[in-house]
Amino acid sequence: MRVTLLSYTRDAERLCASAAHSCYSNKGASELMEEWDEAKGKRWLGSPLASGHHSVIEHASYTFSIEGCSRSMSHQLVRHRIASYSQLSQRYVSMKDAEYVTPASIAADPELERRYRELMGRIWDEYRFLSQKVPAEDARYVLPNACTTNITVTMNARELWHFFELRTCRRAQTEIREVADEMLRLARGASPLIFKNAGPPCVSRGKCPEGKMSCGKPRTELKQ
């Protein structure tokens, strides 16, 4: 699996900080952008983010390519509705070669891995047989959640914050947590001020809201 940051709003921190400060200044964002420097940016943006006023970072957007992930993971990803997605079509792209994700818990056990691999082989045998008899969009019904896919996703910074709170949590499913961790790393590299405190609630809020469902292990390694 590979995660790539394809594009993002240039000067995102300058833009969002100026937009945020324009709420408290008689100057417009265009003038404030000319005055912006890193020290002002930390003040102008740090205060609203610390107060939970994340609407000001909606002005910045980030586009990622996620390649070689499972359809199981992509189905979880698209539940985040404030986003734009473009995904590999199983109707128009040949799926005749068996490409699938093997969860680490299965790969760790030789017997489970053998049974899993044999099952995948049988599934693709049936898919290839069916695809000779019926349209590809019908043959694909037998393909598993493990089937690999590629998906492009664009989110604004506020939705990314929400995504990171849910999906970098230890309680998130392993594959989407790995995707979210890498997306967070890339987003921080592009906009360190915006995403400085992004992560699961134990990082972003300093406490876990899960109650008795909490894992009890704050992800301190994600703190910047």
Confidence band for 130, pLDDT divided at 50, 70 and 90: very high
Q: Tokens standing for 102?
A: 């093997």
pLDDT digits 0-9 by tens, 186-211: 999 999 999 999 999 999 998 999 88
**Catalytic residue IDs:** 167
Average pLDDT for 51-75: 96
Residue 216's SS3 state is: coil
The residue whose two tokens read 């056990």 is 109
Q: Are 3 and 182 in contact (CB under 8 A)?
A: yes
